Structure 1
Amino acid sequence: MPTVTRGRAKGQGQWALGHREPLNANEQQKKDDNPLNVRARIENVYAHRGFASIDPADLRGRFRWWGLYTQRRPGVDGGKTAVLEPHELEDEYFMLRVRMDGGQLTLPQLRAVADVSTRFGRDTADVTDRQNVQLHWVRVEDVPEIWRILESVGLSTQEACGDCPRVILGSPVAGVSAEEAVDARPLIEEITRRYIGDPAFSNLPRKFKSAISWLPDIPYECNDISFLGAVHPELGAGYDLWVGGGLSTNPMLAQRTGTFVSPERVPEVWEAVVSVFRDYGYRRLRNRARLKYLVKDWGIARFREVLETEYLGYRLPDLPRPPVPERLTDHIGVHRQRDGRYYIGVAPVVGRVSGGLLASLADVAERHGSGRVSATPMQKLLVLDVPADAIDAAVADLAAIGLSASPSPWRRSTMACTGIEFCKLAIVDTKDRATALVAELERRVPELDTPISIHVNGCPNACARTQTADIGLKGQLVTHEGRQVPGFQVHLGGGHGVHAGFGRKLRGLKVTSDELDDYVERLTRRYLAGRKESEPFAEWVVRVDEEELR
């Protein structure tokens, strides 16, 4: 047996190079038992014996592979987030994440989610910017029955969290958009059928985020892998392949591989990219275990070479750079479908809904459409397949339950993560604070005539895509009058498409939560007064002096 040098033994934890030791705690847990196996223990042991019976390695590790995180204990302030031990932060209830690959739901599926929320989640529900629905206050005793209800209509929580392939983003109007050349729904369905739950991909170095859409209505630069619609000059309609995106504390935008992927090859190319990550990804240090670090270190040319020669066994066709979208499409309002019917996009404030609201939404969709509803990566909801003569009634019924098809620019473009209400990593409140901010800005600056995106995050992890917003607000404690209070570091001028990039951070630019309304109003009024004709907020931020942004 060959001698392994000390450097080779340590390495970066890359399996393909023989670097399998030493293991950090997360890697050891996965090695000890495939996390997918925890389902049997939940069903046969924990659901019967209760929270106190749960093995800590399952509770804070493997449960995630079935969409379960313990939620934050009420009353623990943000200053304790990085100080307390996990058992001191966590409550005996769970957040449960429901996978909605591609974002589209049938009527039975929507009613099932609503039912689970009202019966088992204290009527909680959040539409996330990953097209999931998150529920709270879930007891481990109820999880098997929740799974039975969801799986009876084709939904799942499997690998909704964990070091595995997470939910696949897709266009909420796939299959109905008049602008779509390729419907990605069969591709997403094929990938989920073949690979989600496959033990070959249930132990990745970290989470793996995917997106597949013909339209520019997904944050394609922020995913580990994205297939964005493109037309090859000779091969026709297919996809432009991007890899290596991710935000959090060290954000990186995905890079084009320069390759064209025909629709029928999307599943196998997806499998090959995940396999590269599994085998070559860095496992030694958790903070370097995302695909973006491998892509950065290798460079896109080497990544493509390894992908093609070691995993695909063929070269992908080159693809000239397609046109860059002006911005991501959010689908709010009334839009004609390719079949002559319409879809209606509505805006729950910062994605906060409830089981009761989802049940009412199902009633509206059944009464005026086909029953189909979809969620967007902007925390919004669409009702599909509405006949022309039912539009006015549908819009009125949606407004009656608090879902506006013509929201203010503030309501339309503000997102927020879960925040301190439920998340153990959060430092500040997000959902309630962002909701109050929207209401206040609607009152103070009703004349805003163009969306300015505001993304509110409770910690540095950027679940609400803080760095790619016009105004990104990263929660932290700030010093005010000699004491620590909830506040935000401000990022300005981030974006996607032609404005792809991360928001500008100005030295010392932080605002307290109490100062937030005044700050955003002041900034907005300066933009409205000083912008050139049709100048987007992101361009104005780059152009003006720093003092204008304070």
Structure 2
Amino acid sequence: MTSSTISAASQPPLSKIEQAKAELCGLELAPRLAEMGREGWEALDEATLTIRLKWLGIFFRPVTPGRFMLRLRLPNGVISAEQLELLAEAIDRCGEHGSADITTRQNLQLRGLLLEDMAPLMVALETLGLTSRQSGHDNPRNITGNPLAGIDPEEIVDTRPLVEAIQARLLGPAGPRNLPRKFNVAVGGAPDSFLLHNDLAFLPAEHNGELGFTVLVGGFFSAQRNELAVPLGLWLRAEQLADFTLALLHHYERAGNRQQRNKSRLMYLIDELGIDAYRAELVAAFAEPVLSHAGSHLVNRAPRSGLGVHGQKQEGLHWVGLHVPMGRLEAASMLELAGLARTYGSGELRLTEAQNALIVNVPGDRLEALLAEPLLQRFRPDPSTLQAEAVSCTGNAYCSFALIPTKSVAQQVLEQLERRIELPEAVRMHWTGCPNACGQPYMGQIGLMGAKARKDGEMVEAAKLFLGGSMGAEPKLAELHHKGVPLSDLPDVLEQLFVEHFGARRREPAAS
């Protein structure tokens, strides 16, 4: 008997979180948002405040009580200047509390909002084709794709319509409303589409000369376990991806573990059933013809940064990739970015998993003027090799799980290192504040995770160090190198690591 046929009566009791979800779906709160705003966040019960609101993309942050975070959905990381301006205005009204972060899922999170802001903001979002629905907790998160989709000279397939079709199915009337745990979906469309950290990944692959997608499942990071996705043994045509995703998620909704949250991600279900039985159940649930596949695909190298000036597949047009330090934006910089996209491009921007922004469709005769814009002194198209591929979660400034202030510490450490060493090429550094690994430290050539360590007889803020993450043809996760380096010692320790492992050259000390 498989887990999907075990009767509910034989199951252990639901966890506390599952009970709260079963009592009321967070989507039912949407009509009540204005009323809830008037009554104030203090009037909300704990389950509504900390769980159910996340179905609408609204996050209570205990470290900033009364100020909420709103996570958008931006399929494939595409956003227009008009949409970005609306989001900038929303956080500008929050004054010093307002900011935004580009996430590692090509998305935006707005910080500093009040609960009473939410109802009118939701209406404004909808008028511009945006939504924050089901962007948090036990829901399918923002669906990612090639950030260069549609403009990439190396593109195998344009992922935008595929990602949008998947989102439409998942957020439609038949979409899942109560998964056992969060779920990440991604679609690859280029030779550098590393997506194996997703629960479900579609990578371009050929079958008897026809282009389609091989299916990989089970990738995830957590405090307990970290896995790369594994081949499911199926090949799909592009038009099947949306319905297959929906069928898989409904199966997961029925069969996933709801008693042990630390064993509720998809890979645990695959382990329980075995990959062959799991595949058989999915094929039966999908009820469309599918083809067996060995799992080979057309992805063969690590992702490009996209930074700098590059020619698009459209003759005469370019994209300009801008490095956004640690992915942090303020209202003013968002408005400037929107203005630059309108003035020099087509009014469209792309967000990347490396927390950077791309201005697209820039004619050649406008490049010089764009590169001379003051904002590009801060959001540089040519950052240093230390800054170029640095990624960070939000840290303990906003997250109660984080043990260190990741973004500020990372920036300070990198600036110190820039004065000490020269790197021959960019090195991926991923910073995360806690073992939940939102900053994806296992994907970095160097990964850093918030921790505590003893120094001079006292417990101090520290970082675990991980080395060796690869996103190339033979991907692997970074492994623990040091269990806790005090933050005050990080510049010295990282300097030595860069010299020993990445060919860094020490700079001559500046003359006094």
- Report Cα offsets for 1:366-417 as digits up to 9, x if no partner: 1110010010011111001001111222222265451111111111111110
* 1:519 and 2:493 aligned: yes
What is the CA distance between 1:324 and its match in structure 2? 4.5
Q: 1:68 aligns with which of 32, 42, 58?
A: 58
Q: How far, CA to CA, are the matches of 1:174 and 1:365 in structure 2?
A: 17
Instruction: Map residues 318-467 of structure 1 onto 2, 5 A cutoff.
Output: 318-319=293-294, 321-340=296-315, 341-397=317-373, 399-400=375-376, 402-445=378-421, 447-467=422-442
User: Which residue of structure 2 lines up, in the alignment, with residue 289 of structure 1?
Assistant: 264
CA shift in 2, pair 1:528/1:207, >3 Å:
closer
TM-score scaled by length of structure 1:
0.87
CA shift in 2, pair 1:172/1:456, >3 Å:
same
Q: How far, CA to CA, are the matches of 1:67 and 1:119 in structure 2?
A: 19
* 1:264 and 2:239 aligned: yes
- Whether the aligned pair in 1 keeps the contact of 2:191 and 2:299 (CA below 8 Å) is no
- Whether the aligned pair in 2 keeps the contact of 1:36 and 1:197 (CA below 8 Å) is no
* 1:311 and 2:286 aligned: yes
- Whether the aligned pair in 1 keeps the contact of 2:134 and 2:140 (CA below 8 Å) is yes
CA shift in 2, pair 1:108/1:217, >3 Å:
farther
- Report Cα offsets for 1:245-271 as digits up to 9, x if no partner: 001221011011232211111111111
User: Which residue of structure 2 lines up, in the alignment, with residue 28 of structure 1?
Assistant: 19
Q: How far, CA to CA, are the matches of 2:131 and 2:53 in structure 1?
A: 14
Q: How far, CA to CA, are the matches of 1:145 and 1:376 in structure 2?
A: 28
User: Which residue of structure 2 lines up, in the alignment, with residue 144 of structure 1?
Assistant: 119
Q: How far, CA to CA, are the matches of 1:30 and 1:203 in structure 2?
A: 7
CA shift in 2, pair 1:439/1:197, >3 Å:
farther
Instruction: Map residues 486-501 of structure 1 onto 2, 5 A cutoff.
Output: 486-501=461-476
User: Which residue of structure 1 lines up, in the alignment, with residue 36 of structure 2?
Assistant: 46
- Report Cα offsets for 1:276-299 as digits up to 9, x if no partner: 211211111011111021123333
- Report Cα offsets for 1:305-345 as digits up to 9, x if no partner: 21112333433242551254221222111111111211111
Which amino acid in structure 2 is aligned with residue 61 of structure 1?
Answer: I
Q: Would you say how many aligned residue pairs link Structure 1 and Structure 2?
A: 500
Q: Which runs of 5+ in 2 are unaligned?
A: 506-512
- Whether the aligned pair in 2 keeps the contact of 1:332 and 1:406 (CA below 8 Å) is yes
- Whether the aligned pair in 1 keeps the contact of 2:220 and 2:229 (CA below 8 Å) is yes
Which amino acid in structure 2 is aligned with residue 294 of structure 1?
Answer: L
Q: How far, CA to CA, are the matches of 1:430 and 1:112 in structure 2?
A: 28
Instruction: Map residues 86-101 of structure 1 onto 2, 5 A cutoff.
Output: 91-101=65-75
Q: How far, CA to CA, are the matches of 1:281 and 1:314 in structure 2?
A: 25
Q: How far, CA to CA, are the matches of 1:41 and 1:219 in structure 2?
A: 40
What is the CA distance between 1:359 and its match in structure 2? 0.5
Q: How far, CA to CA, are the matches of 1:428 and 1:208 in structure 2?
A: 26
User: Which residue of structure 1 lines up, in the alignment, with residue 91 of structure 2?
Assistant: 117
CA shift in 2, pair 1:218/1:432, >3 Å:
farther
Which amino acid in structure 2 is aligned with residue 226 of structure 1?
Answer: A
Which amino acid in structure 2 is aligned with residue 221 of structure 1?
Answer: L
Which amino acid in structure 2 is aligned with residue 49 of structure 1?
Answer: E
Q: What do you get for the CA RMSD once the two structures are aligned?
A: 2.0
Which amino acid in structure 1 is aligned with residue 41 of structure 2?
Answer: F
What is the CA distance between 1:230 and its match in structure 2? 2.3
What is the CA distance between 1:498 and its match in structure 2? 2.5
What is the CA distance between 1:218 and its match in structure 2? 4.8
Say which SS state the counterpart of residue 93 (structure 2) adopts.
helix
User: Which residue of structure 2 lines up, in the alignment, with residue 88 of structure 1?
Assistant: none
What is the CA distance between 1:199 and its match in structure 2? 6.3
Q: How far, CA to CA, are the matches of 1:270 and 1:164 in structure 2?
A: 13
Q: How far, CA to CA, are the matches of 1:461 and 1:192 in structure 2?
A: 25
What is the CA distance between 1:495 and its match in structure 2? 1.9
Moved over 4 A (4+): 216-219, 528-531
Q: How far, CA to CA, are the matches of 2:372 and 2:436 in structure 1?
A: 38
Which amino acid in structure 2 is aligned with residue 23 of structure 1?
Answer: L
* 1:474 and 2:463 aligned: no
CA shift in 2, pair 1:61/1:16, >3 Å:
farther
What is the CA distance between 1:198 and its match in structure 2? 3.8
What is the CA distance between 1:516 and its match in structure 2? 0.8
TM-score scaled by length of structure 2:
0.93
Q: How far, CA to CA, are the matches of 1:275 and 1:330 in structure 2?
A: 35
Which amino acid in structure 1 is aligned with residue 7 of structure 2?
Answer: G
- Whether the aligned pair in 2 keeps the contact of 1:246 and 1:252 (CA below 8 Å) is yes
CA shift in 2, pair 1:432/1:98, >3 Å:
same
User: Which residue of structure 2 lines up, in the alignment, with residue 253 of structure 1?
Assistant: 228
What is the CA distance between 1:41 and its match in structure 2? 2.4
Q: How far, CA to CA, are the matches of 2:313 and 2:365 in structure 1?
A: 16
Q: Which runs of 5+ in 1 are unaligned?
A: 1-7, 75-90, 532-550
Identity across matched positions, percent: 31
What is the CA distance between 1:300 and its match in structure 2? 2.6
Say which SS state the counterpart of residue 247 (structure 2) adopts.
helix
Say which SS state the counterpart of residue 67 (structure 2) adopts.
strand
Which amino acid in structure 2 is aligned with residue 524 of structure 1?
Answer: F
Q: How far, CA to CA, are the matches of 1:147 and 1:406 in structure 2?
A: 37
